[in-house]
A and B are shown apart, each in its own frame.
Chain A
């Protein structure tokens, strides 16, 4: 177990290093640069720009810049945002809460609803319910999220005026009710797509399990059908879902780009988008490294959890 962990962590460090290199190189290759923000203003002379480049270290060769960034990273200094001079960790931290709130709500909703739809669909395969659920999932997956978001805003905010169209809270209010009212639309839109995904995963996993021999054995014992399903089928069908949860963890913290943008939700997804358009290298790199770490942690956690839940799996 310990040697397994050490091996996995070694792999993770190597992967993070590769991710950082690729990320750094791609950012450098992208047209424009942090200076184009300042150059857009008319009262900046070339000397001013050179001086800023000098200050930020942007005039040095790329490998030197990378090495310096990496060394600082290793000492825990993630750098400062080009935009407002705030430390990168602080910037990420201040957006994480909003994202967590939105993503946790949506994901929990999606797992609860999606898994039930999947289980029922598998038990009553090809029934009207199953057909509707299948068609519904396909529709939810094939129509872009921003369209659902816009329709939701149009119907519930503009026409019915039931719910706010964006932001996390009303400035100056911030009560629990206010937070909830702001949460409902973006969380539902996000949950819609995720529910579709979860229902498909769960349905196929459950279908796989209900045709297994041990389910027939459970029936042959005379167990009532609900006990066959709850006691024997569902636990086995839920096992592969652990992997899915592990893969979802990074998106949980990384935010949903589109949904956060449509609903002007102050989360990680929007931060990432804004930082890219400002060419705010330190923040972009920070988010990149943060999400990459989360992907690795997520899959490691999933594998360990799997070993706990499935007695056949031994880590080693």
Chain B
């Protein structure tokens, strides 16, 4: 994959002003995604993954309470790189749903309950592609068929409550793909679904990606899903990137103790006999964003932390080999 990135994020930070003080929800996040590539963004709840994705779409609530800094470059439909964060709102509206689209976590609540699904998909098509009502309807039928919804023409007039969760998520995907975006952001699209449906949706996304060559930013906390779908992985903790690598090296040899912990806490059948006892979990909880620990954000929960070193200052995100980044002062000694 040597093509130029379609999405290039540099030093993205998002801060919220709250009553309790300022919260750094995302700090200095940088990454790039190329056409046809899938980047998985992994982390626990509160690690800043969803805020990052909303910032890319510029869907964070506007106003003085939110400050977004950094640079988000997005390849527009005309091939020009757009500076998403400084684009005037009317132009941004033309980009949203067109060059960059998003699938949300909750298919149950993400569709308007009082509008037929056909109409909800057609809306984006008519808006960005300028098709008339009839042509847009035909396009919706094609899309519903593409995402594997049986009898698509009959489904046009269905309301969301007529459809199952998996079907609704397919509708959401059809809606997101309707204008053939260069970048698709999928924010935990399978979390709310049954396991069998999860597999179907992942399979669908992969097939659609092969077909359209779009870049996918896949946000998840499920490492099983990551192994399934990702080319590259970015691990986030406390709003910061703590490790970034291609998917195979990351699973084979995680460098950051947090990543090690995440991988260890995935249940594994093949080890079930050998390693009796409870499933290892990372001790403690995600830090309170108002009171981030000094030094490395993970050190209070880290089994390998050294007093006076890990809590002294924030480690740099440093290069650890080809296409690999890690944020840990001890990674060299910890990984053989």
B-contacting residues of A (Cβ < 8 Å)? 212-214, 216-224, 231-232, 235-236, 239, 309-312
Does B102 have its Cβ within 8 Å of any Cβ on chain A?
yes
B319 is an interface residue with CB less than 8 A from chain A? no
Can you offer 27 A-B residue contacts whose CB atoms are under 8 A? A213-B106, A214-B110, A217-B104, A217-B110, A217-B111, A217-B112, A217-B172, A218-B112, A218-B123, A220-B57, A220-B59, A220-B97, A222-B93, A222-B94, A222-B97, A222-B98, A222-B127, A223-B124, A224-B93, A232-B112, A232-B115, A236-B113, A236-B114, A239-B114, A311-B113, A311-B114, A312-B161
CB pair B113 A312 closer than 8 Å: yes
| Assembled-state Cα–Cα distance A239/B93 (Å) | 28
B45 in the interface (beta carbon within 8 A): no
Chain A contact surface mostly:
helix
Give chain B interface residues in 216-271, CB to chain A under 8 Å.
Answer: none
Q: How large is the interface on B (under 10, 10 to 19, 20 to 34, 35 or more residues)?
A: 20 to 34
Query: Which B103-126 residues have C-beta < 8 A from chain A?
Result: 104, 106, 109-115, 123-124
Enumerate chain B residues within 8 angstroms of A310, measured Cβ to Cβ: 113-114
**Pairwise interchain contact B127-A223, C-beta atoms closer than 8 A:** yes
Asked whether A216 lies within 8 Å of B112 as measured between CB atoms, the reply is no
- Asked if A212 contacts B109 (CB within 8 A), the reply is yes
Q: Which of B89-105 contact A (CB under 8 A)?
A: 90, 93-98, 101-102, 104
* A221:B96 contact, CB within 8 angstroms: yes
Contact (Cβ within 8 A) A214 B123: no
Q: Which residues of B contact A236 (CB under 8 A)?
A: 112-114
Q: Is the CB of A219 within 8 A of B96?
A: yes
* Residues in A whose Cβ lies below 8 Å from that of B331: none
Q: Which residues of B contact A220 (CB under 8 A)?
A: 57, 59, 96-97, 101-102, 104
A-binding residues in B (CB < 8 A): 57, 59, 90, 93-98, 101-102, 104, 106, 109-115, 123-124, 127-128, 159, 161, 172, 175
A213: B residues at CB distance < 8 A: 104, 106, 109-110
Give the residues in chain A near B172, CB-CB below 8 Å.
217
B109 to chain A, nearest CB (A): 4
Residues of A contacting B175 in the complex (Cβ-Cβ under 8 angstroms): 217, 221
On chain A, the residues within 8 Å of B124 by CB distance are 221-223
CA A309 – CA B114 in complex, angstroms?
8
**A215 smallest CB distance to B (angstroms):** 8
Contact B114 A216 (CB under 8 A): no
Our pick among A214, A216, A231, A309 for the contact of B59 (Cβ within 8 Å) is A216
Query: Taking CB as reference atom, which chain B residue is nearest A216?
Result: B59
Tell me which of A217, A236, A309, A311 has the highest count of chain B C-beta atoms within 10 A of its own C-beta.
A217
Tell which of B90, B104, B115, B159 touches A216, judged by Cβ atoms closer than 8 Å. B104
Residue in A closest to B178 when the chains form the complex, CB atoms? A221
Chain A contacts of B110 at CB under 8 A?
A: 213-214, 216-217
Given contacts A213-B104, A217-B104, A311-B161, contact A222 B113 (CB under 8 A): no
CA distance A145 to B60 in the complex (A): 44
Name the residue on B nearest A214 (C-beta).
B112
Give bound CA distance, A203 to B94, whole Å. Answer: 30
Contacts of A311 in B (CB 8 A): 113-114, 159, 161
Contact of A214 among B90, B111, B127 (CB under 8 A): B111
Least distance between B57 CB and chain A CB atoms (Å): 6
Q: How far is the CB of B16 from chain A (nearest CB, A)?
A: 16
Query: Judging by beta carbons under 8 Å apart, are A221 and B159 in contact?
Result: no
Q: How far is the CA of A216 from the CA of B95 in the complex (A)?
A: 15
Residues of the A chain whose Cβ atoms lie less than 8 Å from the Cβ of B114: 235-236, 239, 309-312
Best-surrounded residue of A214, A222, A311 (most CB of chain B within 10 A): A222
Contacts of A239 in B (CB 8 A): 114
Q: A214-B111, A310-B114, A311-B161 are contacts. A223–B93 as well, Cβ < 8 Å? A: yes
Q: Within the complex, what minimum Cβ distance (angstroms) separates A179 from chain B? A: 40
Cβ-defined contact, B127 with A221, below 8 A? yes
A309 to chain B, nearest CB (A): 8
Closest to A312 in B: B161
B185 → chain A closest CB, angstroms: 9
Measured in the bound complex, the distance between the Cα atoms of B90 and A213 in whole Å is 22
Q: Within the assembled complex, what's the spacing in Å between the Cα atoms of A236 and B123?
A: 17
Q: How far is the CA of A218 from the CA of B57 in the complex (A)?
A: 12
Min Cβ gap B184→A in Å is: 11
**In the complex, given contacts A219-B59, A220-B97, what are 14 additional A-B residue pairs having Cβ atoms less than 8 angstroms apart?**
A212-B109, A213-B104, A214-B109, A214-B112, A220-B96, A221-B124, A222-B94, A222-B128, A223-B124, A224-B93, A232-B112, A232-B115, A236-B114, A311-B113
Which of A219, A221, A311 has the most chain B CB atoms inside 10 A of its CB?
Answer: A221
Smallest CB separation, B131 vs chain A (Å): 14
Q: Is the pair B97, A221 in contact by a Cβ cutoff of 8 Å?
A: yes
Q: What CA separation (Å) do A236 and B127 show in the bound complex?
A: 22
Bound CA–CA A224/B127 (angstroms) = 10
For B123, list chain A residues within 8 Å (CB): 218, 221, 223, 231
Q: How far is the CA of A295 from the CA of B172 in the complex (A)?
A: 43
Residues in A whose Cβ lies below 8 Å from that of B115: 232
Q: Top 10 closest A-B pairs, CB basis?
A: A222-B97, A222-B96, A221-B97, A213-B109, A221-B124, A214-B112, A213-B110, A311-B159, A222-B93, A220-B102
